[in-house]
């Protein structure tokens, strides 16, 4: 949906990549982002009033060392502040506000041609937009270049905007946990807002709820978890390192199931490598021609048990010549595990597949009638378009 404040989402389990295991977010809900002191002692012998000789020299040295440490800490703090200010000056002109008829989000300028990457749920079903740049009262028209809801990414192209400043994208594969980052965007419509935090985790697989762009929801592999505060309106903005490079596109934030409100310090961003890859295809071809995501080649639905709880994934149809059909699967089968990981719903199946690679050979366990069968499946590629 274009309004970036939908509180629905459901995290799911994750699968295993060919070389690395992706972790998944479980037990929390997600929402797309379319906005020493001491004390003195007593009761003992008094300390000497003065210390002479070597002891006095050591005390003096310790005091000087303490002063130097304090000065060093102050210098480091100033350096970090300078780094933040430098990065903000460098990147903020590349981060824009995108408005549709029903909501707003953010975007990042990709090139001098006016192409801007954002989230598919920001654009929704709209094809025309208004784009506003940082610290500018003027908005400019933009049109849709293409959208790929499976990765919640889209590209729009702004017209007539002068002095475009494309952002520099970093290598998200090199991102390390603990790295300092800034999140830039337009949370709650507050344009050009910046928050700071760290990279809390990498390789998270998260699931989005249904939206206008993706009625069946979307499963996002390999996301970057960050403690930088992100809120509705941040969707499509920039997660930036201290080199001034965009390493992710903020997309989701966690909400507390108990409190029903935002869970501070838990947000997720699509890796920059994924964003550049998908955006490049949309710009070049108007659609995605290579998803790089594994698929079984089936249409499925979630089945429920007598209590209404998810109990398996029913195969509605099988793609002719696809991975599942080649392995002997057929409509009516009920998938219960993939790659030795239980799946109870279509969302869980998507999450497992998101952690696997095209060409991986995996076991798929399914019920057919009253019998359990195991199929050896070589995974195909998620449909593009």
* DSSP-assigned letters across all residues of 337-382: EETTEE--SHHHHHHHHHTS-TT-EEEEEEEETTEEEEEEEE-EE-
In a domain, residue 60? The reply is no
CATH of the domain at 374: 2.30.42.10
179 and 300 fall within a common domain: no
What's the CA gap between 201 and 181, in Å, rounded?
Answer: 12
Q: What is the pLDDT confidence band of residue 75, given thresholds at 50, 70 and 90?
A: low
- Residues of the domain holding 319: 294-381
pLDDT at 202 over 90: yes
CATH of the domain at 28: 2.40.10.120
C-alpha distances out from residue 291 to 131, 151, 263, Å: 28, 9, 32
In a domain, residue 43? The reply is no
pLDDT at 48: 32
pLDDT at 120 over 90: yes
More confident: 76 or 342: 342
164 and 264 fall within a common domain: yes
* Last residue within a domain, chosen from 223, 255, 286: 286
252 and 315 fall within a common domain: no
pLDDT at 384: 66
Q: What is the pLDDT confidence band of residue 231, given thresholds at 50, 70 and 90?
A: confident
Contacts of 216 (CB under 8 A, 6+ apart): 210, 346
pLDDT at 55: 36
More confident: 188 or 349: 349
More confident: 177 or 213: 177
Q: How confident is the model over 196-203, as a mean pLDDT?
A: 96
Q: What is the pLDDT confidence band of residue 255, given thresholds at 50, 70 and 90?
A: confident
In a domain, residue 64? The reply is no
pLDDT at 150 over 50: yes
Are 151 and 117 in contact by the 8 Å Cβ rule? The answer is no
pLDDT at 109: 98
User: pLDDT for 160-170, tens place per residue?
Assistant: 999 899 999 99
pLDDT at 232 over 90: no
248 and 108 fall within a common domain: yes
12 and 155 fall within a common domain: yes
How many domains are contained in the chain?
A: 2
Are 380 and 284 in contact by the 8 Å Cβ rule? The answer is no
Proportion of the chain above pLDDT 90, given as a percent: 59
Proportion of the chain above pLDDT 70, given as a percent: 78
* Last residue within a domain, chosen from 286, 303, 327: 286
pLDDT at 144 over 70: yes
Residues belonging to the active site:
121, 152, 235
What's the CA gap between 303 and 123, in Å, rounded?
Answer: 31
219 and 341 fall within a common domain: no
Q: How confident is the model over 93-99, as a mean pLDDT?
A: 96
In a domain, residue 157? The reply is yes
In a domain, residue 62? The reply is no
pLDDT at 74: 52
pLDDT at 330: 95
7 and 145 fall within a common domain: yes
191 and 311 fall within a common domain: no
What's the CA gap between 226 and 185, in Å, rounded?
Answer: 15
Contacts of 126 (CB under 8 A, 6+ apart): 2, 100, 101, 102, 144
In a domain, residue 69? The reply is no
* Last residue within a domain, chosen from 286, 320, 347: 286
Q: How confident is the model over 101-116, as a mean pLDDT?
A: 95
Q: How confident is the model over 264-269, as a mean pLDDT?
A: 92
Q: How confident is the model over 375-383, as a mean pLDDT?
A: 92
pLDDT at 326: 96
What's the CA gap between 196 and 180, in Å, rounded?
Answer: 7
DSSP 8-class letter at 190? -
Q: Which residues of 139-171 are buried (b: 16+ CB within 10 A; e: fewer)?
A: bbebebbbbbbbbbbbbbbbeebeebebbebbe
In a domain, residue 126? The reply is yes
141 and 237 fall within a common domain: yes
282 and 301 fall within a common domain: no
């Amino acid at each position: 949906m274009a309004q970036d404040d939908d509180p629905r989402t459901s995290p799911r389990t994750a699968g295993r990549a060919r070389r690395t295991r992706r972790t998944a977010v479980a037990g929390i809900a997600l929402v797309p982002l379319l906005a020493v002191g001491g004390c003195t002692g007593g009761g003992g012998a008094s300390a000497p009033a003065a210390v002479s000789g070597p002891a006095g020299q050591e005390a003096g040295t310790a005091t000087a060392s303490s002063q130097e440490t304090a000065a060093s800490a102050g210098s480091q703090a100033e350096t970090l502040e300078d780094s933040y200010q430098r990065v903000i000056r460098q990147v903020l002109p590349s981060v824009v506000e995108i408005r549709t008829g029903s909501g707003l989000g953010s975007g990042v300028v990709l090139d001098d041609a006016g192409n801007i990457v954002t989230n598919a749920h920001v654009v929704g079903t709209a094809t025309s937009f208004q784009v506003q740049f940082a610290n500018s009262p003027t908005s400019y028209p933009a049109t849709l270049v293409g959208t790929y809801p499976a990765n919640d990414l889209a590209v729009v192209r702004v017209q007539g905007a002068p002095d475009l400043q494309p952002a520099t994208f970093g290598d998200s594969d090199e991102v390390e946990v603990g790295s300092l980052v800034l999140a830039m965007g337009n949370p709650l419509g507050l344009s050009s807002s910046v928050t700071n935090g760290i990279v809390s985790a990498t390789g998270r697989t998260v699931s989005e709820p249904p939206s206008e762009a993706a009625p069946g929801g979307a499963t996002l592999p390999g996301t970057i978890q960050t403690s930088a505060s992100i809120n509705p309106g941040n969707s499509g903005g920039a997660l930036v390192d201290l080199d001034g490079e965009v390493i992710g596109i903020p997309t989701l934030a966690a909400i507390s199931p108990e409190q029903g409100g935002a869970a501070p310090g838990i947000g997720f961003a699509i890796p920059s490598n994924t964003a550049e890859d998908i955006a490049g295809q949309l710009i070049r071809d108007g659609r995605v021609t290579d998803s790089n995501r594994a698929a079984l080649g089936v249409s499925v639905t979630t089945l429920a048990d007598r209590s209404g709880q998810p109990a398996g994934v029913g195969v509605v149809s099988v793609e002719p010549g696809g991975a599942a059909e080649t392995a002997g699967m057929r409509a009516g089968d009920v998938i219960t595990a993939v790659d030795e990981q239980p799946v109870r719903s279509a969302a869980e199946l998507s999450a497992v597949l998101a952690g696997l690679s095209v060409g991986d050979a995996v076991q798929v366990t399914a019920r057919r009638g009253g019998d359990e069968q195991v199929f050896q499946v070589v995974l195909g590629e998620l449909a593009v378009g």
